[in-house]
């Protein structure tokens, strides 16, 4: 049997190997990952980069959806307030049309209607986090100003366009309706109907017709407002989908690079045992000469 008279290089190599294995196992336990650098598993590392990119995109879409949800909710709430105000105006109009009110009572109704008109203008200029909701794609300035010579008593400063936002891979969502479609639509202008009712009450003529026109405009606005409820449902559905996608990606990543902790702990223990054995062998060799070693 041949005995290696110079085992120190082999012992040192074995020690280095066991130290590396111990370090690797300790790193896996501390990070919870089996792949901590590309060389550990190039295929898994490449796939993890791909899934990380998907997760980043999904996270960005979810953040955008949160903002969009806030905008849509604010717009929906605002339109509900507008409709409540218009119902109050209709009640006042009906009261003023019965022909039994005194002049002072008529004037009181006019004052109330003017207050409602100002309230609706203010609501139409609602902004959310610095973005005006009803100006079309003109979101930096208030969409409505009082006056300007329009028969409705207000001027629309926005446009007729709709904001489209990407909320998924190849999926875009319209997130608003312009004020020209909601409040000042041709033939169904809330502002014109309100102003006409005020004028009718002031002159005490044509009040019934003005009330009917305001009722029609109010019903039209109610129909248009369903857009926001539908959009909110789409946002919720897409949010649910993206959260599920992120969870699936996380599970895929755990399968790719996650570590089996009991196995890693066993590997660490075994590597430490092997390392200790190598150290003892090196110490024994360094204390004995070749003759003692052969014996």
Is residue 74 located within the same domain as residue 152?
Answer: yes
Let me know if residue 174 belongs to a domain: yes
Let me know if residue 126 belongs to a domain: yes
Confidence of residue 254 (pLDDT cuts 50, 70, 90): low
Let me know if residue 7 belongs to a domain: no
- Owner of token pair 């898994």: 44
Is residue 184 located within the same domain as residue 65?
Answer: yes
Is residue 159 located within the same domain as residue 191?
Answer: yes
Is residue 183 located within the same domain as residue 269?
Answer: no
Is residue 123 located within the same domain as residue 63?
Answer: yes
| 178/110 Cα distance (integer angstroms) | 29
| 264/288 Cα distance (integer angstroms) | 36
Question: Domain range spanning residue 171?
Answer: 58-251
How long, in residues, is the chain? 295
Tokens standing for 110? 């006019």
The residue-averaged pLDDT of 262-267 equals: 66
Let me know if residue 29 belongs to a domain: no
Let me know if residue 75 belongs to a domain: yes
- Determine contact, residues 135/141, Cβ cutoff 8 Å: yes
Q: Quick one: pLDDT at residue 294? A: 47
Alpha helices in the chain (DSSP H): 8-31, 42-96, 103-124, 179-182, 190-203, 207-257, 261-287, 290-294
Let me know if residue 147 belongs to a domain: yes
Let me know if residue 13 belongs to a domain: no
Is residue 146 located within the same domain as residue 247?
Answer: yes
- pLDDT tens digits, residue range 56-70? 666 788 888 999 999
Let me know if residue 5 belongs to a domain: no
Is residue 92 located within the same domain as residue 128?
Answer: yes
- pLDDT tens digits, residue range 212-234? 999 999 999 999 999 999 999 99
Query: How many structural domains comprise the chain?
Result: 2
CATH assignment of the domain containing 210: 1.20.1330.10
Is residue 279 located within the same domain as residue 180?
Answer: no
- pLDDT tens digits, residue range 132-188? 999 999 999 999 999 888 899 999 999 999 999 888 877 889 999 999 999 999 999
Comparing C-alpha atoms, which of 31, 8, 27 is closest to residue 19? 27
């Amino acid at each position: 049997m041949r005995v290696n008279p110079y085992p120190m290089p082999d012992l040192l190599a074995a020690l280095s190997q066991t130290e590396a294995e111990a370090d690797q196992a300790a790193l896996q336990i501390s990070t919870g990952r089996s792949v901590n650098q590309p060389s550990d598993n190039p295929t898994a590392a490449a796939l993890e980069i791909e899934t990380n990119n998907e997760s980043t995109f999904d996270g960005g879409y979810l953040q955008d959806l949160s903002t969009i949800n806030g905008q849509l909710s604010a717009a929906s709430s605002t339109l509900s307030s507008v409709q409540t105000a218009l119902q109050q105006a209709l009640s006042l109009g009906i009261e003023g049309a019965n022909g039994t009110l005194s002049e002072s009572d008529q004037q009181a109704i006019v004052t109330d209607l003017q207050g409602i008109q100002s309230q609706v203008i203010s609501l139409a200029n609602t902004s959310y986090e610095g973005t005006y909701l009803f100006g079309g794609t003109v979101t930096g300035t208030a969409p409505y100003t009082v006056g300007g010579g329009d028969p409705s008593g207000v001027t629309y400063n926005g446009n007729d366009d709709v904001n489209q936002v990407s909320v998924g891979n190849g999926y875009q969502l319209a997130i608003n309706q312009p004020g020209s479609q909601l409040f000042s639509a041709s033939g169904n202008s809330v502002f014109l109907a309100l102003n006409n009712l005020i004028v009718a009450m002031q002159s005490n003529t044509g009040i019934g017709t003005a009330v009917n026109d305001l009722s029609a405009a109010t019903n039209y606005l109610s129909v248009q407002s369903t857009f926001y409820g539908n959009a909110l449902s789409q946002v919720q559905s897409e949010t649910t989908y993206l959260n599920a996608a992120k969870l699936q990606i996380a599970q895929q990543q755990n399968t790719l690079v996650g570590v089996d902790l009991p196995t890693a702990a066993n590997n660490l223990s075994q590597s430490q045992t092997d390392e200790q054995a190598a150290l003892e062998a090196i110490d024994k060799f360094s204390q004995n000469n070749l003759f003692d070693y052969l014996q």
